[in-house]
Every structure is written in structure tokens, then in C-alpha cells.
Amino acid sequence: MNRIALDVSDLLKGISAETEFREKREFSPLGERGEKLEFKGPVEFNLVIRRVNSELMAEGTIVGKVMIECSRCLSKLILLLKAGVREVFRKPVGPGESPEEAFEIIGGEIDLGPLAEQAFLLALPLKPLCREDCKGLCPRCGKNLNEGDCGCREERIDPRLAILKKLKKK
């Protein structure tokens, strides 16, 4: 888990109304979708944290490059993810309780790591592609069809649909 602690005690005491967090930080891989999302280079945080009553609101963008597999041909590609965030941080409600639908303020600090992880996972495309016209893998031999034809062009037709081919010939 990526821990990025930020001291917000001045905001909580009312000494300041907002603070900026504009930094680049290294990020360890995230394990989702049965694979690890590996970051290529530092993750850039451009956030403003504001005090709103007893809560803190973090707004801005988090940008990073992640290596992921193409959903059609399984080749590796580097994807630039730019995640817009607008999240609330609250103090825990009681001993052992965590606030609902908010990140926690613990001991005058907030951890931006879980916020960034959530933002990146939500920003991932459902089906990442290495390119728009990716041809994928041959269903018979498994060759990457972007690299050339595999020679497996034997056409197999579902026997239930074979009658339609006869109609097309007439």
C-alpha cells in the first residue's frame, strides 16, 4: 500500500483555510484485475485541501503512467491516467469506527495514498487497447494478429447457422 502522509493540523486548528499539495511521488504497483498495475515514473499530485467545518475536502488531479495489458492482444502498453478527485476526509466517528464514504483524518494527518489508488482504479478503462484497430489474438493458434497473418483461415460455421450461408449463395 502506498502511504503519502500529509500534515493537516493547521487546517484542523483553523490556522489556515486551505493548503496545496503539488508533488511528484514514486508509487508501488497496485494489484487489481488479476494483474499488477506498474507505475512508470512518478505520480503527480495537484491537490488543494480545504477545511469545510470539521471535514477536509481534497480537490484536484492525480496523474501517472501505468503499464497494463491490451484486452485484445495481451501486449503491454503504457497508459497515461489523469484522475480528477474530489473527496472528503473526516475524523473517525468513535473508537474503532470509520466514517462512511470518506477517508480518515488520523492524528492530524491524512493519507493520500488510498485516495490516489482509488482514483487510478476508477480511471482505468474497462477494455484498454494498445491501439484502436487492434486485431487481437487468433482464436485457434493464439498468434498476435497485429504482427501478421497466422494462416489459420479455415472458416468454421456453427451448424445451426449453416442454412443461412446457403440462402446467401442464392
In this structure, are residues 101 and 115 in contact, taking their beta carbons and an 8 Å threshold? no
C-alpha 91/C-alpha 107 separation (Å) is 9
Residues of the chain predicted below pLDDT 70: 1, 32-35, 94-101, 153-156, 168-170
To the nearest 10°, the Cα dihedral for 23, 26, 32, 36?
150
Beta bridge partners of 83: 62
What DSSP string runs through 90-129?
E--SSTT---TTSEEEETTEEEHHHHHHHHHHHHS-SS--
Whole-number pLDDT of residue 14 = 82
pLDDT of residue 54: 82
Closest-CA residue to 28 (of 20, 37, 17, 19): 37
Q: Is the pTM of this model over 0.85?
A: no
